[in-house]
Amino acid sequence: MIQVESLHKRFGKNVVLAGLELDIHQGGIFAILGPNGSGKTTLIKTLLGMVIPNKGSITVMDSPVRNKWKYRQDINYLPQIANFPGNLRVKELIAMIKDIRQKPSNEQKLIGLFGLEPFLDKKLSNLSGGTKQKVNIVLTFMFDSPLIILDEPTNGLDPLALIRLKELIFEEKAKGKTFLITSHIMQFVEEVSDQIVYLLEGKIYFKGSISELKTKTGQSNFEHAIAAISTHNNHD
Amino acid sequence: MPLRQYQPTTTMIKILKYSFYDLMRSRWSYVYFLFYLLLGFVLLFLNNELSKAVITLMNVIIVLVPLIGTIFGVMYYYNSKEFTELLLAQPIKRSSIFLGQYFGVAGSLTVSLVLGLGIPFTLYGLFQSNAIWDFSLLLLTGAFLTLIFTAVAFNIALANENKIKGFGYAVLAWLFLAVIYDGLFLMSLIVFEEYPLDNLSLIATMFNPIDLSRTLILLKLDISALLGYTGAIFKQFFGTNLGLLMSIFMLFLWTVIPVWRLGYVAKRKDF
């Protein structure tokens, strides 16, 4: 599904990705973890073609990414910070994205699921952070695409919405979809993910299941295992 | 397979449409439109003659249209950053996003200009007068200046992450072309007055869209006699059909090059 080969990216003098290699097969939920500034968002943005790598190649569903855009038709992306044009209404934003994507969509079901009906006629600049994130989720999940990328999906969500989000993720996973998720909430990661991809200093430091990670670090608690893997490196 | 539309041009038109509606809904487009409407009526009321009103109007348009294009271009680019980021993750070609937004801004400004001035002049009997060609040329150069300066502004904004810097550079670019360029030009004429400068002044005029527009309109209005000897040389060149075509071609180049560069730079930028 995704092949990344010796990916390099620098922003000025700051090296963010240093020869990253990644191979992700179809189906399942992959959590991309790593300390702040380890290159998670940059990796996701290179997959989406928003950041252009200095070196290396990326293939998404057998299509090379460089200077291409059609492959994004098969990706649903939830950006980290839900910034929308403020003078649009929620309804208009949804209609606009539908118009651009030209794919069948099931936004009605999702609007009901997250209780967004009262906000449809409100302007996006007047919504709270959590409500914006719900709109963000509706926009991401309303199309049927094989690859779904979620950057900090739990941001600002209330407990009920969080439960709905998890149900939604499992429902889509059951249909054979592939997820890439970044999150700082380890409990959420442990609940949903099948595989952990741990980034450190612009490279993949660990890739495997949660139980493999626990064995490797000798920790029984996932959160401690993640903490251990970062400190472990410092002693190298 | 679901129905999928992949044509980049149709997506560009969609982006253009959304940007255009977005701007048409904003207060500033109306302020701009009403300003021209008022200006048109006041000038016609004061001048009582179409051709004289056209001259006064030219002086306003030549300076104001580029300024408004510059400011609107920069402001729109920075204000629609979130919209742009949302679009970048969609299956859309990058150049469609930026060109769509650009034509949305430039288009709505041009509509405000043409309608704002067109309405009062039409009501005053423009179509029955022989000033119609002068007036059309005025609107044509106004449209070109809008396209040119909005494109320059987009280029500057794209190169500067910092809003204040981008805004500053854009206003400087306008100031240079609208005021400083003429000053330098005049000074060089004084310094090198012993030499024949006819061709040099012709060329210098060509390289500034504001000067080019002004010369084009002045000569069309046939008041070149006021310009003395240089005026005669200019008349010889700009007054002919070749000169007119050449000038419009130069304005066209001034539009195409920044627009092309916009697409080129946008393709290579990280977001």
What ipTM was predicted for this assembly? 0.82
List, in order of start, the domains of chain A with CATH numbers: 2-234 (3.40.50.300)
Could you read off the pLDDT of A190-231 as tens digits, one per residue? Answer: 899 999 999 888 888 888 888 888 888 888 888 888 888 877
Nearest-CB residue to B89 (from A70, A77, A84): A77
CA-based nearest distance A234→chain B, Å: 31
Strand pairing of A147-151 and A178-182?
A: parallel
- CB-based contact (8 Å) between A45 and chain B? yes
Quick one: pLDDT at residue A233? 53
What span, in angstroms and rounded, lies between the C-alpha atoms of B68 and A195? Answer: 54
Q: Taking CB atoms and an 8 Å limit, are B90 and A84 in contact across chains? A: no
- CB-based contact (8 Å) between A14 and chain B? no
Give residue limits of the domains in chain B.
8-268
Quick one: pLDDT at residue A235? 46
CA-based torsion, A34, A37, A39, A41: positive or negative: positive
The helix/strand/coil state of B93 is coil
The stretches in chain B having pLDDT less than 50 are 1-5
**For helices B209-220 and B228-238, angle between their N-to-C axes, nearest 10 degrees:** 90
pLDDT (average), residues A20-37: 88
pLDDT band at A134 (very low <50, low <70, confident <90, very high): very high
- Measured between CA atoms, the residue of chain A closest to residue B1 is A103
| Residues with Cβ within 8 Å of residue A164, at least 6 apart in sequence | A113, A114
As given in the structure block, the two tokens for residue A170 are 């499992």
Cβ contacts of B222-225, under 8 Å, gap ≥ 24: B223/B55
Cα separation values, B111 from B38, B108, B114, B115, B146, Å: 16, 5, 5, 6, 10
pLDDT over threshold 60, residue A129: yes
Quick one: pLDDT at residue A236? 45
Beta strands in B114-161 (DSSP E): none
| Residues with Cβ within 8 Å of residue B196, at least 6 apart in sequence | none
What span, in angstroms and rounded, lies between the C-alpha atoms of A149 and A181? Answer: 6
User: Residues of A numbered 51-80 whose beta carbons fall under 8 angstroms of chain B's beta carbons: which are they?
Assistant: 51-52, 67, 69-73, 75, 77, 79
pTM value is 0.85
Spell out which residues of chain B touch residue A84, defining contact as CB-CB under 8 Å: 82-83, 86
Q: Taking CB atoms and an 8 Å limit, are A11 and B94 in contact across chains? A: no
The helix/strand/coil state of B128 is helix
For chain B, first and last CA: distance in Å?
32
pLDDT over threshold 80, residue A234: no
Q: Whose CA is closest to B113, among B225, B233, B31?
A: B31
Spell out which residues of chain B touch residue A50, defining contact as CB-CB under 8 Å: 85, 88-89, 270-271
Q: Taking CB atoms and an 8 Å limit, are A69 and B2 in contact across chains? A: no
Q: Taking CB atoms and an 8 Å limit, are A51 and B270 in contact across chains? A: yes
Spell out which residues of chain A touch residue B267, defining contact as CB-CB under 8 Å: 67
Q: Taking CB atoms and an 8 Å limit, are B91 and A50 in contact across chains? A: no
pLDDT band at A168 (very low <50, low <70, confident <90, very high): very high
Q: Taking CB atoms and an 8 Å limit, are B271 and A45 in contact across chains? A: yes
- Calculate the average pLDDT of chain A: 87
Give the phi and the psi of residue B192 in degrees, each rounded to 5.
-105, 35
CB pairs under 8 A between A and B: 71
Quick one: pLDDT at residue B172? 96
Quick one: pLDDT at residue B2? 45
Quick one: pLDDT at residue B229? 61
| Residues with Cβ within 8 Å of residue B47, at least 6 apart in sequence | B53, B56
The amino acid that residue A3 corresponds to is: Q
Q: Taking CB atoms and an 8 Å limit, are B2 and A104 in contact across chains? A: yes
CA-based nearest distance B112→chain A, Å: 21
The amino acid that residue B146 corresponds to is: T
- Measured between CA atoms, the residue of chain B closest to residue A148 is B89
CA-based nearest distance B12→chain A, Å: 10
CA-based nearest distance A184→chain B, Å: 22
Quick one: pLDDT at residue B166? 95
